[in-house]
Structure 1
Amino acid sequence: MKNTAGLVLAAGGGTRFGRPKALIEFDGRSLLDRAVATLHTGGCRQVLAVLGAGAEQALAAATEAFTPVLNRRWGQGLSTSLKAGLAAVPERYDGVVVTLVDQPRIAPEAVRRIIAAAEEGAAIAVAVYAGRRGHPMYFAREHLDAIAAGAVGDRGARDFLAANAALVREVECPGDPVDVDTPADLEALTRLPRINPQSSPPKLVGRS
């Protein structure tokens, strides 16, 4: 079985929302707690969370166990959080599952399916929802440095994935990777039915 860590990118200031996204509450829990719990429940043995804006408040309010990683350059884009997070993954892990703090409808089953793809040999595994790629994503240890080197501004692993298409395994997943960017987005989520985590085996939809 793969020895897999989880990584939540949660450093953003949430300018459009009005406060850091790690502090936003949805359905009685902070987005940070929900993201950390999703990775734990999905099978990650240790979860790291990159914090930046509102880091002290996020740490004080958190109820889920995670290893904090401070990104003081969070204002320079998502790439700085990805770089900080990947660099902090302990050497004992074979790879890491990465997700974003502002997507509370990602299901633990999606994490399970991504890890299952890694256990079947995928070096890079990416969740797919109705034909569109999203999070979570799995990155094998041997590619972490290259992924970090290719991350610039608000572009995370996108350029690496495009340049290494033969490595990428797409995995059909349940859930919904919708972002919470504004208060209106959050209000819209409260009117949606709860996500069914599903327990069926992963369906691999090929490489691209």
Structure 2
Amino acid sequence: MATGAPEFEAVVLAAGAGRRFGGGKLLAPWAGGALLDGALAAAFAAPVRRVIVVTGADGEQVGAAARAFAVRLGAQDRLLVVHAADHDEGMGASLRRAAAVLPADCAGAFVFLGDMPRVPHGVLESLARAVRAGAPAAAPVFEGQRGHPALIGPALLPQLLTLQGDAGARAILKDLGQRLALVQAPDDGVLFDVDQPGDLSR
């Protein structure tokens, strides 16, 4: 994007301990790589300038996995890994950490979850179009259920700095009502996440 127009950024939340999984969830084997690779692939496929990965538990290993993926993609110059020291608080801490490094000219931030490896890449440009057209935020839906990633528009980005607890971006989106742009997703990858080892084979 060499237009000089404000650009989107992607945030991948990869700080959780994966306690229900038994630990080490984001590094678990998935489709020939690590579970985290699926979320990273979607983030790099989005129309974004940069991908910000927020680590917490297993921070060094998760950061190394993210860097290795970016190198394989030839996109290491588009990756920023940051650590949320207070990650035990929940997703709010990770989003605050990411928001602190978003550039002032950011056109919006995609928020990906590290344990969602099957996000359909085809929905990402549609989310971007909705926010470029003026929606304050956009999210995908499949069979009536809202999924991920959400795209938070520029007017709402300052709210990321105030988030607490584990509600994540939901706390921002819930007040939008009809102003939240809903984009139909082609499959249930916008809903599928991995909580327990058995989910890996679903």
TM (normalized to structure 2)? 0.85
Alignment partners' CA distance in 2, 1:140 and 1:185: 32
Note if contact 2:6-2:105 (Cα within 8 Å) is conserved in structure 1: no
1:170 aligns with 2:182: yes
Amino acid at match of 1:55: G
- Secondary structure of the residue aligned to 2:62 is helix
Alignment partner, residue 99 of structure 1 = 112
Alignment partners' CA distance in 1, 2:130 and 2:201: 34
Alignment partner, residue 153 of structure 2 = 140
Note if contact 2:159-2:172 (Cα within 8 Å) is conserved in structure 1: yes
1:69 aligns with 2:69: no
Q: Which moved more, 1:38-47 or 1:139-148?
A: 139-148
Note if contact 1:125-1:137 (Cα within 8 Å) is conserved in structure 2: yes
Alignment partners' CA distance in 1, 2:52 and 2:36: 11
**C-alpha deviation, 1:20, in angstroms:** 3.1
State, as a whole percentage, how many aligned pairs show the same letter.
34
Structural RMSD (CA) = 1.7
Alignment partners' CA distance in 2, 1:152 and 1:111: 27
1:155 aligns with 2:159: no
Which of 175, 185, 194 pairs up with 2:199? 185
Note if contact 1:114-1:136 (Cα within 8 Å) is conserved in structure 2: no
Alignment partners' CA distance in 2, 1:131 and 1:8: 24
**C-alpha deviation, 1:59, in angstroms:** 2.3
**C-alpha deviation, 1:173, in angstroms:** 1.3
Q: Which moved more, 1:74-83 or 1:59-68?
A: 59-68
Alignment partner, residue 28 of structure 2 = 24
Please list, as runs of the form range in 1=range in 2, the aligned pairs for 1:43-54 lying within 5 A after superposition: 43-54=47-58
**C-alpha deviation, 1:166, in angstroms:** 4.2
Gaps of 5+ in 1: 189-208
**C-alpha deviation, 1:76, in angstroms:** 1.2
Alignment partners' CA distance in 2, 1:138 and 1:121: 12
User: How many aligned residue pairs are there?
Assistant: 187
- Structure with the higher helix share, 1 or 2: 2
Alignment partners' CA distance in 2, 1:142 and 1:87: 15
Note if contact 1:4-1:95 (Cα within 8 Å) is conserved in structure 2: yes
- Secondary structure of the residue aligned to 2:123 is helix
Note if contact 2:26-2:34 (Cα within 8 Å) is conserved in structure 1: yes
Note if contact 1:2-1:119 (Cα within 8 Å) is conserved in structure 2: no
